[in-house]
Amino acid sequence: MSLSVAYCALGNCRRLTARHRFFSTVKTVNGFIGAIGNTPLMRIESLSRETGCNILGKAEFMNPGGSVKDRAALYVVKDAEERGLLGPGGTVVEGTAGNTGIGLAHVCRAKGYRCVIFMPNTQSQEKIDLLRMLGAEVFPVPAVPFDNPENYNHQAARLAESLGSNAVWTNQFDNTANRRAHIETTGPEIWAQTGGTDQTDPTGPPLDAFTCATGTGGTLAGTARYLKERDPRIRIVLADPPGSVLHSYIQSGGQLTERQGSSITEGIGQGRVTDNLRPDIGLIDDSVYIPDELTISTLYRLLDEEGIYIGASSALNVAAAVEVAKQIGPNKTIVTMICDGAYRYQSRLFSRKWLESKNLLTAIPDHLQKYIVL
């Protein structure tokens, strides 16, 4: 039996063209950088069944550096090169909660640059270790608010400045090359994978809504910009954890409040409107608040029912997609981001002591507590 016939025999073959498309996507790419993007869109079966909607997660953990931030890392480095700020022997400096730094460390190794990372000392040890293994110089610094000069971003900016020429602070929060990565890659990929809203391409379900949380805002803003330009009917929903001000900002029609509380999610939640988010904040139709209890129970449920092992921001995004499905469903398609895997956080997310310290043990149903092995 030929491979294509075997594939059809498995029940996967809807149409001849779809089958050809499947095989034509298997290709060779150029190194680490060539492997960034073009991630699959995964249907989350149990939640789709439960909501009567298509809940689809963009499998960003399949990027070569393991997260959605590989896209932004590549774009900010390319932008610095194109603007003549970075060349052979150069240094990239960034303030990052982890994943952008990991993406940057990979891209810098692939391109031969020195990589220096400042990060808040609240981040997981796995991420710090990995950055160092990838050759980055890492400085964990006290987690203080953005308006404090000792904030990790300002420390990164000062170091780049002191190094002089051929050293850049890539400034992921306010460098809009980050947002451009998603206008040029994530948005078009989701559009192509879903067949848009008008079903001109029947290989995917129509797209009704996109939801995700924001850290820098690059993913939400850039993806929303592309999708809304293709079809303004696509609903854009911001998902927000505790300790972030964006949900109340959207709900109040633009009032910024003080940050209060904190979340177990890493890499998301924001105290201000970044330059990446500002141009597109008007494209956001609504926002949903996801408490940590729902994030952690969704994370354990996805592992148990789907076999997917994802980080807390991804679990929050999936929980948000379910909320959106309840609001606009049934028979709708909602896309969200599976930003990274749980591997980077497992010493926390699967530790009984840590869960207890966050008062989250009771949020995990008894039959799922078998996964708490640390």
* Binding flag, residue 99, ligand PMP (CB under 6 A): yes
339 binds ligand PMP (CB under 6 A): yes
CA angle (285, 282, 277) in 5-degree steps: 105
**Closest CB to ligand PMP: residue number:** 267
Return the number of the residue (44 or 221) whose C-beta is nearest ligand PMP: 221
Cα dihedral 69, 70, 74, 75 sign = negative
Q: Which stretch binds ligand PMP (CB under 6 A): 137-145, 213-221, 280-288, 357-365?
A: 213-221
Residue-wise burial string across 302-321, b where 16 or more C-beta atoms lie within 10 A, e elsewhere: bbeebebbbbbbbbbbbbbb
Judge contact between 143 and 151, C-beta under 8 A: no
Binding mask 123-142 vs ligand PMP (x if CB under 6 A, - otherwise)? --------------------
- Based on the shown chain and the rule CB under 6 A, indicate whether residue 219 belongs to the binding site for ligand PMP: yes
Q: Which is nearer to ligand PMP, 168 or 264 (CB)?
A: 264
Q: Which amino acid does the sequence have at 197?
A: T
* Per-residue CA distances from 212 to 14, 71, 286, 316 (Å): 30, 16, 11, 8
**Smallest distance, Å, CB 26 to ligand PMP?**
28
Burial readout 90-118 (b: 16 or more C-beta within 10 A, e: otherwise): bbbbbbbbbbbbbbbbbbbebbebbbbbb
Decide if residue 247 touches ligand PMP (CB under 6 A): no
- The DSSP line for 117-140 is EEEETTS-HHHHHHHHHTT-EEEE
Lookup: tokens for 21: 């498309």
Min separation Cβ 318 and ligand PMP, Å? 12
Shortest distance, position 213 Cβ to ligand PMP, whole Å: 6
Q: What is the dihedral of CA 75, 78, 82, 83, to 10 degrees?
A: 70
Task: Assess 329 for contact with ligand PMP (CB under 6 A).
Answer: no
Shortest Cβ 326–ligand PMP spacing (Å): 23
Residue nearer to ligand PMP on the CB measure, 107 or 268 = 268
Does 215 help bind ligand PMP (rule: CB under 6 A)?
yes
> Which residue carries 């022997």 as its tokens?
89
Region near ligand PMP per CB under 6 A, out of 96-104, 142-150, 224-232, 246-254 = 96-104
Give the CA distances from residue 121 to residues 46, 70, 94, 142, 171, in Å, rounded to whole numbers and listed in that order.
37, 22, 15, 6, 19
Site string for ligand PMP, 59-88 (x = CB under 6 A): --------xxx-------------------
- Name the phi and psi angles at 243, rounded to 5: 85, 0
- Rounded to the nearest whole angstrom, what is the least distance from the CB of residue 198 to ligand PMP in the complex? 28
- The span of 50-58, 183-191, 216-224, 328-336 binding ligand PMP (CB under 6 A) equals 216-224
Examine the residue annotation and report whether 27 is marked as an active-site residue of this protein: no
Cβ-based nearer residue to ligand PMP, 69 or 247:
69
Least separation in angstroms between CB 201 and ligand PMP: 27
Q: In what order do the strands lie in the sheet with 91-95?
A: 137-141, 114-120, 91-95, 167-169
**40 to each of 43, 63, 130, 171, 189, how far by Cα in Å?**
10, 10, 25, 28, 9
Sole window of 25-33, 77-85, 94-102, 233-241 interacting with ligand PMP (rule: CB under 6 A): 94-102
Nearest CB to ligand PMP, comparing residues 65 and 311: 311
Catalytic residues: 69
Q: Which residues bind ligand PMP (CB under 6 A)?
A: 67-69, 97-99, 214-220, 266-268, 311, 313, 339-340
